[in-house]
Homo-oligomer: A and B are copies of this chain.
Amino acid sequence: MERIRMVFSGSGGQGVITASIIIAEAAVLYENLVAVQSQSYGAEARGGATKADVIISDSEINFPKVNHPNLLVCLTQEAYTQFSPTIRPGGFLITDTRYVKTHNRVAARQRELPIYQTVMDNIGKPVVYNICMLGAVISIIDIVRPESVMKVLEARIPANLIDINKKALELGRKLGEPFKEL
């Protein structure tokens, strides 16, 4: 398999670190793959940008940082400005229409998704925003099955929150689906 290098970027409260840990655990525990997940915090973190890296592979991963992602998610304008130039040519760039106005030309398959809007319209609670984003991601890269993500969630969250997380994941998958045709 191709080694998948992902970066999830945004602001602290958007849950990008949690999302990156969930997809890494799903890949390892239920897809028989290996994964590394990391975040580097420097001076820029004090300004508000959060960046979480995930590498998923079928063979040992020696260097855990992602400098040039195959798939980059930017959930704030600041994250987009900072990280969109780093995307690997031909990679996927996902932004949220609510938070990011795209302007760079990048040699990537770029898609603006109404993730926040979809969550608020259909669920009404921003708490599952990152799970909806993750749904879009797994729809696009097809490396982790949704049921594997749900198994990780079922082990982490209270039973009464499973249903809205499942719904958020499904909504995200629908948002991501047209991306596959690009």
Contacts and interface: CB of A to CB of B under 8 A. Distances in A.
A46 B21 CA distance: 15
Interface of A: 12-13, 17, 21, 24-25, 27-29, 34-43, 45-46, 60-61, 63-65, 155
24 contacts: A13-B155, A17-B21, A24-B41, A25-B41, A27-B41, A28-B41, A28-B45, A28-B46, A34-B41, A34-B43, A35-B41, A36-B39, A36-B40, A36-B41, A37-B38, A37-B41, A38-B38, A38-B39, A38-B64, A40-B61, A40-B64, A42-B60, A63-B63, A64-B65
Contacts of A43: 34
A65 B55 CA distance: 14
